[in-house]
């Protein structure tokens, strides 16, 4: 079994901070959607055709107030993050796009819009992927190499991503380490994400407090830092501009970053850096063969 035993600095753990940029690309009758984006924390959804202006302003908060706070914090600690962006969100937030273009952060694709893609047929989905890729390339000056769907994707998604030149796909929650999917051509890196360390836990009822969320993320780091698995592992910490970017929550992210910085034993990197190192460490298997990745089967 071929495995990647460590990351470039010799550690067994990589920490990936993922900042989701969805605001301005969510469901809205103004964009032709049947219904408005539901308000998760209230369990409230309007009847079809009605705009939820209050919730639209809640999303706008993420761009106007949340993004500057998150970016300042990452810059203060010298953390390179992966911003998974719905392409339309960046088109509608040119100041944020320009700031990301001038930063060391990676921008990955979170769809053309922040909408489910699982009902698209193969050619519709290919167009959706291309539109997202090309839009982000225009917005930040470089095309995305990673993809995260909104919850659901199709059986064709990885094949289409591989054919369109993507390096990795992150709609996977089945492991703590990367692997190759060689059932598509060319093979694509599967870079698992995580929901348990995501700040959506602060948003959806029953919600964690910011302190509880930080404790959980820190405990995850501490446990994984002291493990000595045969394969290099990843801890993903996902946040959202409109959630963690609030004054009462941003300190929780600061606490997590400070703890990891002080504790050492982990390589803090973008997902592109993680996927690229894995691809160098474990060469891709021949297309159509069982995955020769980090010990995980192809899926």
**Is residue 185, in this structure, part of any structural domain at all?**
yes
Q: Is the pLDDT of residue 228 over 80?
A: yes
- Of 295 and 62, the structure prediction assigns the larger pLDDT to 62
- Give the pLDDT score at 152: 86
**Is residue 287, in this structure, part of any structural domain at all?**
no
Q: Are 75 and 255 in contact (CB under 8 A)?
A: no
- Give the pLDDT score at 214: 98
Q: Is the pLDDT of residue 1 over 70?
A: no
Q: Are 237 and 222 in contact (CB under 8 A)?
A: no
- Give the pLDDT score at 57: 75
Q: Is the pLDDT of residue 48 over 90?
A: no
pLDDT tens digits, residue range 81-109?
999 999 999 999 999 999 999 999 999 99
- Of 39 and 291, the structure prediction assigns the larger pLDDT to 39
What average pLDDT does this structure show over 227-247? 96
User: Which secondary structure element, helix H or strand E, spans residue 82, and what is its range?
Assistant: strand 82-85
3-state secondary structure of 15: strand
- Give the pLDDT score at 32: 76
**Is residue 130, in this structure, part of any structural domain at all?**
yes
Phi, psi of 201 (to 5 degrees): -65, -15
**Is residue 292, in this structure, part of any structural domain at all?**
no
Phi, psi of 29 (to 5 degrees): -55, -25
Q: What is the CATH number of the domain that holds 74?
A: 3.20.20.370
What average pLDDT does this structure show over 65-86? 98
- Residues 189-223 as b/e (b if ≥16 CB within 10 A, e otherwise) read bbbbbbeebbbbbbbeeeebebeebbeebbebbee
**Is residue 293, in this structure, part of any structural domain at all?**
no
**Number of folded domains that form the chain:** 1
Q: Are 70 and 254 in contact (CB under 8 A)?
A: no
- Give the pLDDT score at 46: 62
pLDDT tens digits, residue range 144-197?
999 999 888 889 999 999 999 999 999 999 999 999 999 999 999 999 999 999
Tokens at residue 4, please?
A: 């990647």
- Give the pLDDT score at 294: 41
Q: Is the pLDDT of residue 6 over 80?
A: yes
**Is residue 4, in this structure, part of any structural domain at all?**
no
How does the average pLDDT of the chain come out, rounded?
90
Identify the domain containing residue 217 by its residue range: 13-281
- Give the pLDDT score at 114: 83
Q: Is the pLDDT of residue 248 over 90?
A: yes
As a three-state string, the secondary structure of 147-195 is: ECCCCCCCCCHHHHHHHCCCCEECCCCCCCCCEEECCCCCCEEECCCCC
| Dihedral over Cα of 244, 250, 253, 257: its sign | positive
Range with top average pLDDT, 46-55, 161-170, 196-205: 161-170
What average pLDDT does this structure show over 35-51? 65
User: CB neighbours (10 Å) of residue 272?
Assistant: 19
- Give the pLDDT score at 44: 59
User: CB neighbours (10 Å) of residue 291?
Assistant: 21
pLDDT tens digits, residue range 105-143?
999 999 998 888 888 899 999 999 999 999 999 999 999
- Give the pLDDT score at 291: 46
């Amino acid at each position: 079994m071929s495995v990647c035993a460590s990351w470039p600095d010799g550690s067994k753990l990589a920490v990936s901070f993922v900042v989701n940029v969805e605001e301005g690309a969510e469901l809205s009758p103004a964009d032709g959607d049947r219904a408005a984006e539901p308000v998760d924390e209230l369990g409230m959804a309007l009847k079809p055709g009605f705009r939820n202006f209050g919730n639209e302003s809640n999303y706008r908060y993420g761009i106007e107030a949340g993004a500057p706070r998150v970016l300042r914090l990452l810059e203060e600690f010298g953390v390179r993050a992966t911003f998974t962006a719905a392409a339309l969100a960046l088109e509608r937030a040119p100041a944020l796009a320009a700031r990301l273009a001038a930063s060391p952060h990676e921008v990955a694709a979170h769809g053309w819009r922040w909408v489910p893609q699982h009902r698209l047929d193969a050619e519709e989905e290919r167009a959706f992927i291309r539109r997202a890729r090309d839009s982000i390339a225009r917005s930040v000056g470089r095309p995305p190499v990673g993809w995260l769907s909104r919850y659901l994707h199709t059986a064709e998604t990885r094949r289409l991503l591989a054919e369109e030149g993507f390096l990795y796909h992150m709609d996977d929650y089945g492991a703590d380490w990367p692997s190759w999917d060689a059932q598509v051509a060319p093979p694509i890196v599967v870079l698992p994400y995580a929901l348990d360390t995501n700040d959506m836990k602060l948003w959806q009822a029953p919600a964690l407090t910011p302190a509880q969320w930080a404790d959980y993320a820190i405990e995850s780091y501490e446990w994984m830092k002291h493990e000595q698995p045969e394969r290099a592992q990843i801890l993903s910490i996902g946040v959202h501009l409109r959630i963690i970017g609030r004054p009462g929550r941003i300190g929780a992210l600061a606490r997590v970053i400070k703890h990891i910085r002080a504790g050492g034993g982990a390589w803090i990197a973008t997902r592109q850096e993680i996927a690229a190192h894995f691809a160098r460490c474990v060469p891709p298997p021949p297309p159509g063969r069982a995955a020769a990745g980090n010990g995980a089967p192809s899926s």
